Structure 1
């Protein structure tokens, strides 16, 4: 029986922690790739040495050679650079478009049947790049955004109400950024709508903190950005696909008429299974929610129009 294989491109904090989370689940061989050859080798060696303590026998490979990634079932792309002082948004976009384009070309050549999960920022635009370059069907290209943003929303609700995160289900739609759209009306605590548990001013504060979730951590870290929660979100998505769970999660996917959005990657609830995206779940939005969602989509479209000039 062929062993499943997952490649993670980029051995930074997100990539390395994702490798750890997936290694501990033991359902696939893991390849960790980076342009700095010693970095993935060192992280893989560290992970292998923790196996006897934690109790996993996952086969791990650290490499700078794309040949090692051949025949991957899933490829997670975390590559990219953070914005640096003096760098404009377009400068950052141009650099990361080039990186994601090259990575996608390399992995697709060797794993033409893989499912691509994009984590690189700006996320919605980078998922668009991976889709354009790979020419894969939309079912096999998705971005990790809503799963992370929803987890942050759930964490803040848990802290606010003093209840278990396991009792909380939440949806955050739209682009991965300031314009994201948390939906309190579709957020529940043990089945109770969140709108019945918190006054509007507290809801608004939690929504704003969710939108600022990544920036809040960057401010605290001073140098660097979040990696524990992003890697956990990737692992949740990968597990849903690998185990054919039919799990509904918000992900950045190519809408082709759904939610009145055409030919644009934006966060919506999807059913994840063995084939990748198996269904886009359409929920009814109020006029205000729809207006916020369309505003978010417009911000993503503006980024993608800039990308079109760079590819």
Structure 2
């Protein structure tokens, strides 16, 4: 009997095959580069050559300038860094966590074409899971299986002297874990999160972008941007568990919330700029595959 991970991958493969493969296969190779360049040969220098490629040892021996020839390493090692915290579960079955899961599996399938390796880092304050990078369809199934696992429940009791877990997601810790896990070789890093959590994550994200090619994907539910008018409702903070009754039809409340949303969007944009990376915002009501095409074609136009 097929597992949930197998059913998810088959469904996404069918949709990718019907709508996207032809549009994406060439695109990702020109947008996301390999880890470096390999020396292949020497040839005589011409005036059009970059002087930085001159091999001075050979030039001195032969008394004639020679330059090194290189070929680009097209193999990509990609990592999916996925926020699995409580706030990502907002919206239920079709919520942020479901969108991030489908997007991560789709990206794994696209990038793994041609023998590229894909790994995953799944982060929550309570626990994190690391899937080392490998190639092949079995690896995508392994990642899908980990993504579909139920969240790890935080322990209810505390032992004396134990540190209390942060009330909101420690995004800095997630990004530091990503930097430490991927330190051996330059790679392609997809960071998927709603970026609801402890502030100060822009610095570790900036350090990650200096080492790797980083694609940031911010997953958002429309209700987080524009609160729907539902009357009086009970609202619970997914991160802290705090509950409060809210009259969503109150114009004063809606105005204050709109102002807070605008301020938060501006703060996020500033933090992304400080980190030197642009964020792709994907909402849970978008066509996921159309968003994936746009993501591939717009990535890499900024920082190289």
TM-score, normalised by the number of residues in structure 1: 0.32
Which has the larger share of helix? Answer: 1
Q: Highest relative contact order (Cα 8 Å, sep 6+), 1 or 2?
A: 2
TM-score, normalised by the number of residues in structure 2: 0.33
